Structure formats: C-alpha cells, structure tokens
Amino acid sequence: MRRIDHLDTLRGFALCGIIFANAPALLHLSPIRDDRPDPVYTALGYLVDERFFPVFATLFGLSLALMWRTTRERTASPRRVLAQRLIAIGVLGGLHQLFQPGEALLPYALAGLLVLLPATLLPDRWVPVCAGVVGAVLLADALATTAGVTTVPGLFLIGYAVGMADVPARIEAARDRGGRAVGAVTALVVCAALTAAVTAAALQYADPRLSAAAGIVTAAAYSALVVAADRGLGHRLLTPLRLLGRTALTNYLGATAALIALRAVAAPLGLGTEDPQAWPRMTIACVVILVCQAAVTALWLRRFAQGPMEHLVRTVSRWGARPAVAAPVSADPTEEGPAPLAATYR
C-alpha cells in the first residue's frame, strides 16, 4: 500500500498547530497580562486550542487501520506487530512526559492498546459500522459530560473506521480522475468548512463551555480545507507540510527539545514570563522552529526514507515477527507498510 499524500499533509498540518498549543506550557508563559488575557492567548483559544489534537488522534486511528491492512498480508503475527508498535510509542511517550507533562504519545499508546488492538478482532465488513458507531457514541459522551475521558478513544475508533473503509484511497482516486464534478465538490467543501469554523468560534465565544465541541467541529473543518487544497498548485505549495507529516513523530519530539532549549535563554529573547511581548514572540519562535524543521526534514528525506524516530518505532514493531510468505518485499520507500531496512537507511 503506497503512501497517501493528503494524509501526510494532514499530519504535517496538525503538527504545526500542536506546537502552538504546547509552547506556552513549555515556556512557562502566563496567559494574564495587566489583569487581562493576552490577545495572542485569546486568539490561540479560538484558532488552536482543542483544534489540532482531534486531527492527530483521528489520524492515529486511521494510520493504524492502514498498517493493520498491510501488516496482516506480510506477517504471520500482525497483532504482535501492532502491539509492539504501540508499546514502543508508549515508551517514547513516557520518556517525553519527563520533559513535557501532558504530552500525547503515552495516552495515545495506552488508548490504542485498549481500544484499537481489540478492534482488529472484528470482521472487516463490520468494522466501518461498528467502530464508527462506537467511536461516535464515545465522542458524544465526552462532549456531553465535558469530562473528555472518552474523546481520544472515540476519535481513534472513528479514524480506524475511516481507514478500514478505505476512504482516503477513495478520495485520492476521485481527485486523480479530476473533472468539473471534483472542482464543484471541492468548492462546496471549502464553503462548508469555512462556515463551520466561523460558527464554532462564535458558539465558543457565546458559551465557553462549548469549547470542546467547537474544537471538534473546527478540526473537521480544518481537515476538509487542507484536503481540498492539496491538489494542483496547492499540492506543490503544501509540500513542506507533507514532509513534516512523513516525519511527524521525529518533529513532534524535536519541537519539545527546541522549546526547552529556548526556555534556557528565554530572558534574552524576550520570552520571559513577565515580558509584555512574550506571547507574540512565542508565536514567531514557533514559526521559526517549524521552518527549520521543514528544511532539515527535506534534506533528511533526500537520503533516508524515514525520520530516525519513525525508523526506531518500525524496527521495534517488526522485531520477532515472522513473515507470512517468503516472497521479497518491495523496497519502494513511499509505501505505507514496512519496508526493508536497506530501503530505510542506506
């Protein structure tokens, strides 16, 4: 199964938003300035907070579905591969927690082991309906109770259902066919997504208790806009996001390292807690980090097929797994599924 470009673009897009959500805590910034919320803090509350992790969580479930479909054709122990992958991500997340409390990898790994791994026991024909319905119920429960405990499992299952229904490949095939119908549908999607995002922000402004629901709606709108834009000229313009998405794990951890390094020199850079321009300068710092990551990633992927953390997780995932057949595996580095080490690091 070959990589699906718009999924990588979405991962990169989510990564760009998550750094802005994580940076204030890592830099120890206070949201209050002169007894009022900082304007940048307020803007991030409507544009970023709770808007990007739903994209990441849904993609996590979707990617596991694609991996499951590929792995069970290539190995005699596909669930072992998935379990080892989730455990590897959990260990990385546990180490990451030491530097960034509240990070996503550890809870994602635990939720994956508890929810996604058992979902692989379902027959394929039942998965889209069963996983989709249960995921929607869990998500609705999280939004209704505002507790949020079932948000991630719900998004995981929705993403898993979408992946098992082969929706991303169907979208890719429809866009490849082109035609006026695709252009018309794209225009409708863009209009609907913009309307949904603006409406969600307005509802959140009217009632802050609706922030979680507004975040889910805006995340869906953002995703629709990115997928709609990822064709033709937009596809070329979004190349940096696609490269970041191919190495999302490495760049997610790398962003934390970069922000911690900035914290060590926060005062000289005007990023101190009491500095009146700390929040605007934080946004500039995040943009600079992302630009640097995109440049380094582009250079890295010229030589290697994966980022270093992606390679580590894939190696752990495949450890001890027996192949389903003795036939050689394609060395195409654009594949979603496992590639030979020679094709990964050469």
Alpha carbon distance 55, 289 (integer Å): 21
In a domain, 337, yes or no: no
Predicted TM-score (pTM) of this structure: 0.87
Question: Residue 109 half-sphere exposure, CB side, CA atoms within 13 Å?
Answer: 20
Supply the pLDDT for residue 297.
97
| Number of separate domains in the chain | 1
**In whole angstroms, what is the distance from residue 47 CA to residue 63 CA?**
25
Instruction: Specify if 344 maps to a domain.
Output: no
Query: Is residue 125 situated within a structural domain?
Result: yes
- Annotate 180-203 with DSSP letters as a single string: HHHHHHHHHHHHHHHHHHHHHHHH
**Domain membership flag for residue 212:** yes
- pLDDT tens for the chain, 346 residues long, are 567 888 999 999 999 999 999 999 999 998 987 788 999 999 999 999 999 999 999 999 999 999 999 998 888 889 999 999 999 999 999 999 999 988 999 999 999 999 999 999 999 889 999 999 999 999 998 888 766 789 999 999 999 999 999 998 888 887 777 666 666 777 888 898 889 999 999 999 999 988 999 999 999 999 999 998 888 888 899 999 999 999 999 999 999 999 999 998 988 888 888 788 999 999 999 999 999 999 999 999 999 999 999 999 999 999 987 776 654 444 444 444 433 323 332 2
Residue-range definition of the domain harbouring residue 100 = 5-323
Q: Is residue 240 part of a domain?
A: yes
- A 10 A CB-CB count for 187 gives 11
What pLDDT sits at residue 8?
94
Q: What is the pLDDT of residue 336?
A: 45
